[in-house]
């Protein structure tokens, strides 16, 4: 796969995904995005995006703290 910004090479990496829902901030650690070697653009594969959405949805229902920190690997189905 190549970068859609600069056509550089994408490498698998690990990063932290964070989303602010207003009443709650969700931090997902060890998310595996692909990062461009050339320009640093970060992109998530479709299944990773779907997994993140599922994690966020289930945390919204079950966790009632202001900040929730989870590990992507623990949550992945
Ligand atoms: Zn790039």
Instruction: Supply the pTM of this predicted model.
Output: 0.79
Separation of CA 32 and ligand 1 centre (Å) = 17
> 10: CA distance to ligand 1 center in Å?
8
Distance 44 CA to ligand 1 centre (A): 13
Q: Which CATH class is domain 10-75?
A: alpha beta
| Cα 24 to averaged position of ligand 1 atoms, centre (Å) | 32
> 16-71 pLDDT, tens per residue?
999 998 889 999 999 999 999 999 999 898 999 999 999 999 988 888 889 999 99
Distance 58 CA to ligand 1 centre (A): 33
Q: 16-45 burial, b for 16+ CB within 10 Å, e for fewer?
A: ebeeeeeebebebeebebbbbeeeebeebe
């Amino acid at each position: 796969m190549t970068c859609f910004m600069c056509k550089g090479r994408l490498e698998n990496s690990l990063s932290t995904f964070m989303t602010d829902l207003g009443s709650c901030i969700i931090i997902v650690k060890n998310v595996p995005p692909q990062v461009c070697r050339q320009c640093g653009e970060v992109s998530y594969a479709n299944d990773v995006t779907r997994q993140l959405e599922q994690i966020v949805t289930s945390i919204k229902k079950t966790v009632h703290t202001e900040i929730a920190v989870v590990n992507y690997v623990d949550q992945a189905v």
